[in-house]
Chain A
């Protein structure tokens, strides 16, 4: 982390007429890093990529690449290779001609060019297809040729615009791995746009989650998954139970209206917000058992059992009009044989609890259990307490 970042984006703003496509975008990308722009369609991720490429102009802000201000440079004068979702291979040129397209003005001899093209074909694992036309290749092969064409001119920055979304699932998985390996071996700084969270989580060093033209969160895949900064990020990546709640005096958190009071304390003085936890972070207790002091306990009735393959997703009603999702490993499910109508005791570590104040505040809000008495809690007593409180 000694040198300045390879790509530095500062306070970018982009408008299309009255529509603000990007606002207040600041981001730094280190050399050799693989960064994913992740977000739903229309969040501005592709626009941001095109701005980095110089294909769109910004109204405000600065971009510098390798220490050089490139904000106003046309794409021809920037240093990048790009792969589009549509591949944009020239259909009337052969694979070799496509890959060599950018090499023509590199003053390479014809022989060197052929060598380079063959090297690249080797690199993308498709030797010997040089004389074919793009139309004769499968989607995955076309994608790799487009990648080779972009890499042929040895750019300092590789931009990938939803490169895998037009492919079927199996090819996609294979190509994910291949692109990652290629990127690591070349050490090329790479930015990929995607709306697929799995793709971003598995491929990226860092993920930039975007929402409505702003950056919602930047972090490693693990950070983003475990500590989503906003309710939007939480909802967009993985699944998250988000329960609307109000904070009463005495830091009582009410979920729903006055149905369910939880013994939770917030680190900040907020009034309303969403309490979040991931379905797989909810433990189903096997019977009377000791739990740690900083554990939230809930009780509920199974409403639905959905078999999802690797796990079972339970929909549990914890109060009137308040359902949560609980993921249970298949193994545990087959031991218990749960069905709709069963009563369950649930436990969640406070580490896995998130609170998203509304309106949002800058500081993250921490959640902890209000300890009324220092004794270790007993499950049923505590649960009974909370239920009594709820019904009061």
Chain B
């Protein structure tokens, strides 16, 4: 019976279905090679000795009996908790001010608060050195002895993570229903009760999400701790020290696995929260029109002004320091620090390498990620494969850059690997960066694809039009805004990332962000700041340029939206 059924279930040959399946399979293969295989290799390395023999959990035992290493876990947790508390509090108040108050200058605040997104995380750390370091201009304001340590790390991280938290919270607070507030008003509910019973529950998912995003970013960040951590070890710098300093790859793998745990945990919780968030606000919800309340507005403005001042101070200090001839003895302005060819770290070449890499990441990444998201969203066949793909697409969010970078060493540097030829080339940096930032792009693409009528593929099948024609003529044009967003997101992040690529560059492929670290390590703090500033302005420039051409492009291709 089952044999007969199977026989009759044999589908007729269908080129389109074959192409779709083949592409889907290639996509999963790509994610396996770019993500799963390296990670597995790393897990394997953590239970091997130098010679590659299996030694069980001996490396872990060694790690946990070494207080110098073990202490980093506590340090990382302390840093992450403090950063999360400070950032979430500040971002919550700012988001409230920007969405619910009648405060003036909202646009300006939003613009300023997005600036850190374009800076490498090294920039605030360098800036802290000039502000609060041994020769810092505001050293006297610092309540602790030295900025080199937890205080510096937390301050630097706060600067860098703040816009991420703010974005999530602003989205959460914008999606509220004014009708609830009107109902509360009609029932004569006092303000504090409205806040506790409507505002807070309305954003609770966004808030939980923000907390975990902040925590993950803080615990996995490498750049800030590297520059300003001093003797204060955290997990991310431990990996670097084990691998680059002591060439102890096995212990690096162990630390990586440990760093992976909190990241995966918060990733898992975040996914669960996300699932429940669906349809919290109905389509009929009425948007809130904030009313002005002078006292509250002024207080909020004062607060936002303080935040903006801090952000501008950090950026401005880095810019200023990069233009000073010799801090703090010769304060004349010059461009000496921008003569990168005179310093360690690869000089101007590294900057152009960074540009080249960012360009390729943006081009190939956008194409690959969008295509795979499309297949995942619109192809009905092979449900198991698509589930696998969905999982693999979400996984990079949980993998810290340091861990991914180290995994790439293990996987691609192995002489047995046929992909070994990629090692030390620009290609491996592109692949690594692409995978590192995969998830956010995948989510952006999926969201925009989900908004497209699911029957378009059915209609074109009934009209005998192949799916790739519909993809080209309808799906892609409809998703163009998302595609452009993905490309610029990839470009900016590829320019500023440091954690994953710090293990993978070679003499020919030094990168600007790595050069910042190397110059800083060599004591050339000012040129390091100069390079960080340059990276930030490049990213900002690209973003503005992108904004201009997308406006032009969208005006032409999205005519139907406004028709």
Residues of A within 8 A of B (CB): 53-55, 59-60, 71-78, 80-82, 84, 86, 88, 90-93, 101-102, 104-105, 132-136, 149-150, 152-153, 155, 159
Contact = CB atoms under 8 A, between A and B. Distances in A.
Contacts of A72: 8-12
Contacts of A53: 458, 462
Interface string B451-473: 00101101111111110010001
Contact of A90 (B5, B456, B464): B456
Contacts of A77: 12, 14
Nearest to B14: A74
Nearest to A152: B463
Given A73-B12, A105-B465, A136-B563, A86 B455 contact: yes
A185 to B, nearest CB: 22
A102 B464 contact: yes
Contacts of B247: none
A82 B463 CA distance: 9
Given A90-B456, A90-B474, A91-B478, A76 B560 contact: no
Interface in B301-319: none
A152 B462 CA distance: 11
Contacts of A88: 453, 455-456, 458-459
Interface bracket on B? 20 to 34
A71 B7 CA distance: 13
A76 B458 contact: no
Which label, helix, strand, loop or mixed, suits the secondary structure of the B interface? helix
10 contacts: A60-B5, A71-B8, A76-B461, A80-B462, A82-B459, A82-B462, A88-B456, A93-B560, A102-B465, A134-B560
Contacts of B40: none
Contacts of B5: 59-60
A132 B563 contact: yes
Contacts of A59: 5
B464 A153 contact: yes
A74 B14 CA distance: 7
Interface centre among A60, A76, A105 (most CB of B within 10 A): A76
A92 B455 contact: no
Contacts of B461: 54-55, 74-76
Contacts of B8: 71-72
A143 to B, nearest CB: 14
B455 A84 contact: yes
Interface in B457-506: 458-466, 469, 473-474, 477-478
Q: Which of A60, A73, A84 gathers the greatest number of chain B CB atoms within 10 Å?
A: A84
Contacts of B563: 132-133, 135-136
Smallest CB-CB A-B distances: 8 pairs? A102-B463, A75-B461, A88-B455, A133-B560, A74-B14, A133-B563, A84-B455, A90-B474
A92 B478 contact: yes
Given A74-B17, A149-B459, 4 more contacts: A74-B12, A75-B462, A91-B560, A133-B559
Contacts of B10: 72
Contacts of A84: 455, 458-459
A92 B560 contact: yes
A293 to B, nearest CB: 57
A14 to B, nearest CB: 13
A76 B16 contact: yes
B557 interface: yes
Contacts of B12: 72-74, 77
A323 to B, nearest CB: 38
Contacts, number: 93
Contacts of A101: 460, 463, 465, 473
Contact of B466 (A76, A150, A152): A76
Contacts of B453: 86, 88
A60 B557 CA distance: 46
A90 B473 contact: yes
Given A60-B5, A76-B466, A102-B463, A92 B557 contact: yes
A93 B472 CA distance: 12
Contacts of A90: 456, 473-474
A90 B478 CA distance: 9
A102 B197 CA distance: 54
A101 to B, nearest CB: 6
Contacts of A91: 478, 560-561
A55 B455 CA distance: 10
A74 B456 contact: no
Nearest to B452: A91
Contacts of A74: 11-12, 14, 16-17, 461
Given A76-B466, A133-B560, A93 B14 contact: no
B260 to A, nearest CB: 34
Contacts of B561: 91, 135
Contacts of B11: 72, 74
Nearest to B15: A76
B458 A75 contact: yes
B473 to A, nearest CB: 7
Contacts of A136: 563
A237 B543 CA distance: 61
A84 B473 CA distance: 20
A152 B459 CA distance: 13
Interface in B1-57: 5, 8-12, 14, 16-17
B37 to A, nearest CB: 32
B463 A149 contact: yes
A342 B453 CA distance: 57
A335 B44 CA distance: 93
Interface string B266-287: 0000000000000000000000
A233 B34 CA distance: 58
Contacts of A75: 458, 461-462
A76 B12 CA distance: 11
Contacts of A153: 463-464
B484 to A, nearest CB: 15
Contacts of A104: 465, 469
A72 B456 CA distance: 21
A136 B563 CA distance: 7
A91 B473 CA distance: 11
A98 to B, nearest CB: 10
Which of B455, B456, B462, B469: most chain A Cβ within 10 A? B462
Contacts of B469: 104
A101 B453 CA distance: 16
A337 B154 CA distance: 85
A92 B477 contact: yes
Contacts of B466: 76
B462 A150 contact: yes
Nearest to B10: A72
Interface in B505-563: 557-561, 563
A90 B473 CA distance: 9
A134 B453 CA distance: 14
Contacts of B459: 82, 84, 88, 149
Counting chain B CB atoms within 10 Å of each CB, the highest count among A53, A88, A102, A150 belongs to A88
A70 to B, nearest CB: 9
A137 to B, nearest CB: 10
A58 B406 CA distance: 49
A150 B463 CA distance: 7
Nearest to B478: A92
Among A73, A102, A150, find the residue whose CB has the most chain B CB atoms closer than 10 A. Answer: A102
Contacts of B477: 92
A90 B466 CA distance: 15
Nearest to A131: B563
Nearest to A90: B474
B478 A81 contact: no
Contact of B473 (A93, A134, A159): A93
A93 B458 CA distance: 17
A152 B563 CA distance: 25
Contacts of A92: 474, 477-478, 557-558, 560
